[in-house]
Amino acid sequence: MSGAEPFPEAARVSVRNAQLRSNLRHATHTIRAKRAKAVAELADWGRLRAAGAAIKDRTLRHLDHYLEQLESAVTAAGGQVHWAVDADEANRIVTRLVKATGETEVVKVKSMATQEIGLNEALAAAGIRAYETDLAELIVQLGDDRPSHILVPAIHRNRTEIRDIFRHEMGHWGRPAPEDLSDSPAELAEAARLHLREKFLRAKVAVSGANFMVAETGTLVVVESEGNGRMCLTLPETLISVVGIEKTVPTWRDLEVFLQLLPRSSTAERMNPYTSTWTGTTDGDGPREFHLVLLDNGRTDTLADQVGRQALRCIRCSACLNVCPVYERAGGHAYGSAYPGPIGAILTPQLRGTASALDASLPYASSLCGACYEVCPVAIDIPEVLVHLRERVVEGGSATRDGARVTIKPAKGHAAERAAMRAARWAFEHPRALRAGERLASRTRGLHPTRLPGPGAAWTASRDLPRVPPEPFRDWWQRTHGGREAK
């Protein structure tokens, strides 16, 4: 997917789709209003948010220790731990584990990590069919589509579109939808329930992700609203969980903080309907085999970046997507990765690097308004990371890739920006020249164009060029002593 077209080109297509914009606007505005209400109920939300950020930062600082503790605890509880350095290795491990069971079908709990690595496609290539069981993921899968939102992957579809997808596609995947299916939410949910029920009862293998992993006991946690996850986690004989290493929390007391932050930020609920926890295997209860695949896939490289590493605090609540004016218009597909919206704009270029045109364009998929930072329950300063990554794209420099320090070359297509920044740096380092330039600009202000020529033309196509004042600020300050003698 990293070879896809850059964000501006992809977004150009989606902003012309009036139906998509209307679906997105309706959904994001509804969720954001509910979230604001749910958060306002807690007087100590600010302290809870600070605690969440601090716990994540401390865990990330000592991640090596907590991962080893987690591995020991999972193993002691009867599970098996596998380490995957990248997507290919994770896919190979899961494929091998499924093949070892002799099965050719798996049921899946909604999981961003498995989307990130393209697990469904890898399993399909090995002759194994993966069935998504989350309602929105089911809609995406049946529609041969891609998710466009972290929490509501089919946010770009309305009820009529969903009814048509169910009517035409369900029969190809299992139990068909009723011929007279209407677009009422209750009928759509019932059709999905019946279609999925037969898969839950038949499946011998399930694949999940996890929202959190508690190192002290080796417990995995899935937080969900529909109950499909609970079915996948308890009915099949073999459970394989693919989880990013940053999902670790040290203790159950730490988990308590996130179980308050996550539901209010994502679904605007005080408490989510289903919280499933499991620790290894238990005789006569749940899966007989449990495998945990710990996924790196660029996370250790991200951890090496002092500014960018805060992206690993993310608990995938999607609050930043729902307030982002760019996401609201462009939709999730334009980001070309499993992670859309503001978090995708900072996480994807760190996990994948900025070598492709798409990944180098993502840090620019923002107006830097800061709304994402305001709502983030773990206080990720997304604008700060965006600016940091823009600098890397324009100037290049040192970064960690595949565990080694490398020098990134400046990306193509930013020559004008680079030249402007270098000129600005030179001017600020030479105050006399800066002052002379300011005076010259003031004296010639009548001759200045209102639109920029050449590469700057696009910038002024939708903005007015700021007018230069008749007198430079520092001259005015000197003349009036900061305004005290101004007439």
Binding segment for ligand SF4 among 2-10, 127-135, 316-324, 359-367 (CB under 6 A)?
316-324
Backbone φ and ψ of 326, nearest 5°: -75, -45
Does residue 365 bind ligand SF4 (CB under 6 A)?
no
Helix (H) / strand (E) element for 480: namely helix 473-480
Taking the C-alpha atoms of residue 129 and residue 379, their distance in angstroms, rounded to an integer, is 39
Measured from the CB atom, the residue of 94 and 380 that comes closer to ligand SF4 is 380
Does residue 343 bind ligand SF4 (CB under 6 A)?
yes
Taking the C-alpha atoms of residue 287 and residue 206, their distance in angstroms, rounded to an integer, is 9
Does residue 376 bind ligand SF4 (CB under 6 A)?
yes
CA distances from 408 to 73, 226, 310 (A): 39, 44, 21
Taking the C-alpha atoms of residue 63 and residue 255, their distance in angstroms, rounded to an integer, is 16
Do 480 and 486 contact (CB within 8 A), yes or no?
A: yes
Does residue 318 bind ligand SF4 (CB under 6 A)?
yes
What angle separates helix 7-15 from helix 18-40, to the nearest 10 degrees?
100
Binding segment for ligand SF4 among 27-35, 66-74, 310-318, 441-449 (CB under 6 A)?
310-318
User: Minimum Å distance from CB 73 to ligand SF4?
Assistant: 25
Taking the C-alpha atoms of residue 294 and residue 240, their distance in angstroms, rounded to an integer, is 11
Binding segment for ligand SF4 among 69-77, 201-209, 318-326, 428-436 (CB under 6 A)?
318-326
Number of shown-chain residues binding ligand SF4 (CB under 6 A): 14
User: Minimum Å distance from CB 327 to ligand SF4?
Assistant: 10
What does the H/E/C string look like for 376-393?
CCCCCCHHHHHHHHHHHH
Binding segment for ligand SF4 among 202-210, 375-383, 390-398, 465-473 (CB under 6 A)?
375-383
Report the site for ligand SF4 in 247-266 (rule: CB under 6 A).
265
Does residue 53 bind ligand SF4 (CB under 6 A)?
no
User: Minimum Å distance from CB 243 to ligand SF4?
Assistant: 16
Apex CA 66: angle with CA 63 and CA 68, to 5°? 110
Taking the C-alpha atoms of residue 327 and residue 28, their distance in angstroms, rounded to an integer, is 9
User: Minimum Å distance from CB 373 to ligand SF4?
Assistant: 8
Backbone φ and ψ of 240, nearest 5°: -120, 120
User: Minimum Å distance from CB 197 to ligand SF4?
Assistant: 31
Does residue 324 bind ligand SF4 (CB under 6 A)?
no
Report the site for ligand SF4 in 377-416 (rule: CB under 6 A).
377-378, 380
Residue 269: helix, strand or coil by DSSP?
coil
Does residue 317 bind ligand SF4 (CB under 6 A)?
yes
Cβ-in-10-Å burial (0-12, 13-18, 19+) of 450 comes to exposed
Measured from the CB atom, the residue of 91 and 267 that comes closer to ligand SF4 is 267
User: Minimum Å distance from CB 265 to ligand SF4?
Assistant: 6
User: Minimum Å distance from CB 386 to ligand SF4?
Assistant: 12
Does residue 314 bind ligand SF4 (CB under 6 A)?
yes
- Residues near 92 by beta carbon (within 8 Å), at least 6 away in sequence: 122
- Count of C-beta atoms within a 10 Å radius of residue 471: 15
Backbone φ and ψ of 276, nearest 5°: -100, 135
User: Minimum Å distance from CB 39 to ligand SF4?
Assistant: 12
List 56, 82, 199, 316, residue binding ligand SF4 (CB under 6 A) = 316
Binding segment for ligand SF4 among 2-10, 158-166, 215-223, 374-382 (CB under 6 A)?
374-382
Residues that bind ligand SF4 in the complex, under the rule CB under 6 A: 265, 314-320, 343, 375-378, 380
